[in-house]
Structure 1
């Protein structure tokens, strides 16, 4: 009997930025709010799945206005430090997901603005093309 496989191709209309910071989650949110003039607020924990299919709970915060949405995720699960929302890049402590805003500006200009935010030690764009765990960022 012939089997048919369903392949779903999602549209990833957001940018991901990896952040290295030794600051606590709430302190980084506060710093991003001051530096970017946003209002990141802690929301319900994000639930994603690791490679083995086990659920993992991820801390996250959200800013939303008419033009954009910004999410800040902690890369490591508070329940199990070995579970990462971005397992390909364990060197990042946080992941910033940007939907909508900043798309009219040059990416380099946004990164420059974020590099000036207090408590961010390193920040870099993440290419979605080769990222296997990109489905973890779909809501």
Structure 2
């Protein structure tokens, strides 16, 4: 009896997931819930923890859990995901060790000018030290962001 093995095409999965997305890196000494509370208050968002999106990475026989907060804009058909980039001494995206949080915007509503405005508004949040747009080409571990 032969066994049929299916192989997941990770490159296609990554390409599909990141279609119509923008990524921003945020540096902040605050906890994720504190920072998102301020973002919610100042920018009018409603980020909330979504435990079903939590990302588990196994490294060196240990499990690390990375919180993901979510906010969906039904009128704009856009979803926002706010990832914690570190858990204890491990990083979700090791190539971005200087970044504390990753903000992923998914949906075709947002254009470059909209994202630029959003980043400018985010810089005004008291707990934010730095915000910058991230280039997808510079991220080697994109698969870690897929839930």
TM-score over 0.5 for the alignment? yes
Paired residues for 1:91-110 under 5 Å: 91-100=98-107, 103-104=110-111, 106=113, 107-110=115-118
Aligned to 1:73: 83
RMSD over equivalenced CA pairs, Å: 2.3
Q: How far off is 1:56 after superposition?
A: 2.7
Q: How far off is 1:54 after superposition?
A: 6.3
Measure, in 2, the Cα distance between the counterparts of 1:50 and 1:123: 28
Q: How far off is 1:110 after superposition?
A: 2.1
Q: Which has the higher helix share?
A: 2
Structure 1 residue ranges (4+ consecutive) displaced by more than 4 angstroms after TM superposition: 50-55
Q: Is the 8 A contact 1:50 1:84 kept in 2?
A: no
TM-score (norm 2): 0.77
Aligned to 2:22: 15
Measure, in 2, the Cα distance between the counterparts of 1:6 and 1:42: 28
The reply to whether residue 35 of structure 1 matches residue 45 of structure 2 is no
Q: Which has the higher strand share?
A: 2
SS in 2 for 1:88: helix
SS in 2 for 1:22: coil
Q: Is the 8 A contact 1:48 1:56 kept in 2?
A: yes
Q: Is the 8 A contact 1:75 1:84 kept in 2?
A: yes
Q: Is the 8 A contact 1:50 1:83 kept in 2?
A: no
Structure 1 spans left out of the alignment, 5+ residues: none
